[in-house]
Chain A
Amino acid sequence: MHRLTIHELHKKLKGKEVTAQEATEALLKRIKEVDPKIKAYLTVTEKEAIAGAQEADRRIADGKISPLTGIPLAIKDNMCTQGIQTTCASKILEGFIPPYDATVVKRLKDEGGVLLGKANMDEFAMGSSTENSRFTVTRNPWNLETIPGGSSGGSAAAVAADACIAALGSDTGGSIRQPAACCGVVGMKPTYGRISRYGLVAFGSSLDQIGPITKDVEDCAILLNAIAGHDPLDSTSINLPIPDYSKALIKDVKGWTLGVPKEFFVEGMDPQVEEEVGAAIRVLEGLGATVKEIALPHTGYAVATYYIICTAEASSNLARYDGVKYGFRAPESKELMEMYQETRSEGFGPEVKRRIMLGTYVLSSGYYDAYYRKASQVRTLIKEDFEKAFDQCDVIITPTAPTPAFRLGEKMEDPLQMYLSDIFTISVNLAGVPALSIPCGFSNEGLPIGLQIIGKHLEEERIIQAAYTFEQNTDHHTKRPKLS
């Protein structure tokens, strides 16, 4: 049962072949079996899950079933869940029990979705390997010695290991797509503003976006249907009607133009990634699409731009953690300033401190113009690159990450090398456009490789259509890690 997708389980629930409680119990059992190996969860909410499933069964008995009713889901631990600890994998939020649900969590609950637990992540979503969690190291279900990607590594590993039916992640510079690629699942970062950020713990507010991590493209559309839409509680959420994304599940790219940016196929790319992505492009070509080389000339500046903007935003967002209102407070401080400093120094891990330092520096008096303003100007150029590119193509195709999952510990000593693993994903966040990662093959070591499909602002439907066409004509999504 744990192997089912959302749409497969929905059919069984609707046909009364299985109850939501049975499905939830099967998933909880699966978590007990595999989570000691992969450590995808920080909290498993067994009691609440059973209660949620029973409520879902009552709704189903009343004939009130929607696509997510009774579906067991995992949520990244940076989204507030009422009454359930939400830590962002940080010591500074240890013990924090939110008094409210994030809008996305509320929407899933309103549909009758069942919350299995909170997924591990890099502390405050800062990282590309989930190794920055203060609590545990998540492992890639395909090879326990490699990283699951990050920062939504717990969500992606749980989906890949069938330890949930689907999950939510968040993506500031690739944190949904890169772990989805590393774990061989589908992950989408929607257009900035498409999903409410209310109740998502803020990291880089102009970049953060919540999105689905699923076993296939159909599930991606179903989850997106549930969480997309305007929210009066998030002033950056876009107030436009939401299409039915499942209507975009069409197997057809005939006559489409696929843009392939030449800048993405240069130095440092793993030859196996290049080969599998090339093969994927030929599949789509074989189905009637035309490939066109396009230019995104400022790609080489994206990492530098991103790490100025995201650290600047993070340094001000994380100023709120002062040991006063919630979470951890350093004991025995004699006066207020000492209490702030000691709380923050003990409460934050090394990567978070590094980013707060960098962000404070680039915003500090005398450096603002040279760094923050400069980066914001380059951001305009990166955004314009995409606008020009989409005049010539329907979607853009790239690798999701330059390499398959790397080994645990490999990049922990060199932050800059870790930052460069986001090289293909971050320009998408800077431009605010939507993108998805879909499995497109495996390395010789049996590690998944991801294909990134980027769309125009608010054109998630095109991405879904291209991804669905590719998926339905290949069999990568049917493969599963051999985790006993």
Chain B
Amino acid sequence: MKVEIGEVEHVARLARLKLSEDEKELFTGQLNAILDYMEKLNELDTGSIEPTFHVVSHQSVMREDAAKESQPQEAALDNAPDKAQGCFRVPKII
């Protein structure tokens, strides 16, 4: 087994997910099966091969630094579950 339940809990915390006990057990089994399958890649010697992160040559695109029309504040807030005084409102942080 590659992944123990404790590690699943750690990864869930990193991903901001709260898993039920059943989900933890299910994901531990499934992640192990999937990661075992991915072991296949170790059959290949990739020592000196450059990785491909993007298939098109990726370069930063700059535009002129000029003011352009953007979403009005109201439209940007329209979908917020909670808002107040032109801001997103969230539960207390500290």
Which residues does A use to contact B, with CB under 8 Å? 95-97, 99-100, 192-193, 206, 232, 235-236, 238, 298, 300-301, 303-305, 307-308, 315, 319, 322-329, 333-342, 344-345, 348, 350, 353-354, 356-358, 360-361, 364, 371, 373-381, 383, 415-416, 419, 430-432
Cross-chain contact of B18 among A206, A327, A341 (Cβ < 8 A) = A341
Minimum CB–CB distance from B4 to chain A (whole Å) comes to 12
Q: Beyond A99-B76, A193-B56, A301-B41, is A377–B27 a contact (Cβ under 8 Å)?
A: no
Tell me if A357 and B79 are in contact (CB < 8 A). no
Secondary structure type dominating chain B contacts:
loop
Tell me if A328 and B81 are in contact (CB < 8 A). yes
Tell me if B11 and A327 are in contact (CB < 8 A). no
Tell me if B56 and A236 are in contact (CB < 8 A). yes
A341-B16, A353-B23, A380-B52 are known; give 14 further A-B pairs, CB within 8 A: A97-B79, A192-B55, A236-B54, A301-B43, A335-B93, A342-B18, A345-B17, A350-B23, A354-B31, A358-B31, A360-B15, A361-B35, A374-B46, A380-B51
Tell me if B46 and A378 are in contact (CB < 8 A). yes
8 Å CB contacts to A: which residues of B29-79?
A: 30-31, 33-35, 37-38, 40-44, 46, 49-56, 58, 60-61, 63, 71, 75-76, 78-79
Q: Beyond A339-B91, A357-B11, is A99–B41 a contact (Cβ under 8 Å)?
A: no
Chain B residues with Cβ under 8 A from A236's Cβ? 54, 56, 58
Minimum CB–CB distance from B55 to chain A (whole Å) comes to 3
User: Can you offer 29 A-B residue contacts whose CB atoms are under 8 A?
Assistant: A99-B78, A192-B56, A232-B61, A235-B60, A235-B61, A236-B56, A301-B41, A304-B40, A315-B15, A325-B79, A326-B79, A329-B81, A340-B16, A344-B15, A344-B16, A345-B17, A354-B31, A357-B11, A360-B14, A361-B3, A361-B31, A374-B46, A376-B53, A378-B44, A379-B52, A381-B49, A416-B30, A419-B34, A430-B55
Q: Beyond A327-B79, A335-B92, A344-B16, is A431–B55 a contact (Cβ under 8 Å)?
A: yes
**Closest chain B residue to A303 by CB distance?**
B37
Cross-chain contact of B38 among A95, A304, A322 (Cβ < 8 A) = A304
Cross-chain contact of B44 among A301, A373, A415 (Cβ < 8 A) = A301
Tell me if B51 and A97 are in contact (CB < 8 A). no
Which residues does B use to contact A, with CB under 8 Å? 3, 7-8, 11-12, 14-19, 23, 27, 30-31, 33-35, 37-38, 40-44, 46, 49-56, 58, 60-61, 63, 71, 75-76, 78-82, 88, 90-93
- Measured CA separation A335–B93 after assembly (Å): 6
Minimum CB–CB distance from B94 to chain A (whole Å) comes to 9
Tell me if B49 and A307 are in contact (CB < 8 A). no
Cross-chain contact of A357 among B27, B75, B76, B80 (Cβ < 8 A) = B27
Q: How many A-B residue pairs have CB under 8 A?
A: 157
Chain A residues with Cβ under 8 A from B14's Cβ? 360, 364
- Measured CA separation A484–B66 after assembly (Å): 57
Chain A residues with Cβ under 8 A from B63's Cβ? 232
- Measured CA separation A353–B46 after assembly (Å): 30
Q: Beyond A307-B34, A341-B17, A341-B18, is A432–B80 a contact (Cβ under 8 Å)?
A: no
Minimum CB–CB distance from B9 to chain A (whole Å) comes to 11
Chain A residues with Cβ under 8 A from B51's Cβ? 373, 376-377, 379-380
Chain A residues with Cβ under 8 A from B23's Cβ? 350, 353
Tell me if B75 and A99 are in contact (CB < 8 A). yes
- Measured CA separation A344–B16 after assembly (Å): 7
Q: Beyond A334-B91, A336-B91, is A371–B8 a contact (Cβ under 8 Å)?
A: no
Tell me if B91 and A357 are in contact (CB < 8 A). no
**Closest chain A residue to B62 by CB distance?**
A235
Minimum CB–CB distance from B35 to chain A (whole Å) comes to 8
- Measured CA separation A323–B33 after assembly (Å): 32
**Closest chain A residue to B55 by CB distance?**
A432
Cross-chain contact of A380 among B18, B50, B88 (Cβ < 8 A) = B50
**Closest chain A residue to B63 by CB distance?**
A232
Chain A residues with Cβ under 8 A from B8's Cβ? 357
Chain B residues with Cβ under 8 A from A341's Cβ? 16-18
Tell me if A336 and B92 are in contact (CB < 8 A). yes
Tell me if B79 and A96 are in contact (CB < 8 A). yes
